[in-house]
Amino acid sequence: MLRNAGFAPAWIEERKDIDAELAASRSNLARVWMILINARATEHERAAENRWEQALAAFQERVNELNRRINAWNLKAPAVALHRKRIDIADEIDRIRT
């Protein structure tokens, strides 16, 4: 009945929120990576490298926060089969760089 009215349990909404924040963080990091790639061998390369380093630090901080939220979310999920895997920062960065 709640689903038909457009409502979902809080733990489902929390998962959607985590996924949306991860997608936004990935998108931002990918955008800064493309800026760095396009700035190679130009006078803007050093500034782009600094921006990339700042974006990496912000991404890592954000993923650490999302992983804390995932841990809390997994405790709320009604079944182990519904648990969400923690985000692997290194894998995420490698995926963006390739």
pLDDT digits over 14-35, tens only?
Answer: 999 999 999 999 999 999 999 9
Q: Write down the mean pLDDT value for the chain.
A: 92
Q: What single-letter amino acid sits at 26?
A: R
pLDDT of residue 1: 44
Calpha distance 11→18 (Å, rounded): 11
Domain boundaries, the chain: 10-97
> Per residue in 50-71, pLDDT tens?
999 999 999 999 999 999 999 9
Alpha helices for 2-87 (secondary structure H): 10-39, 45-76
pLDDT of residue 63: 98
pLDDT of residue 74: 94
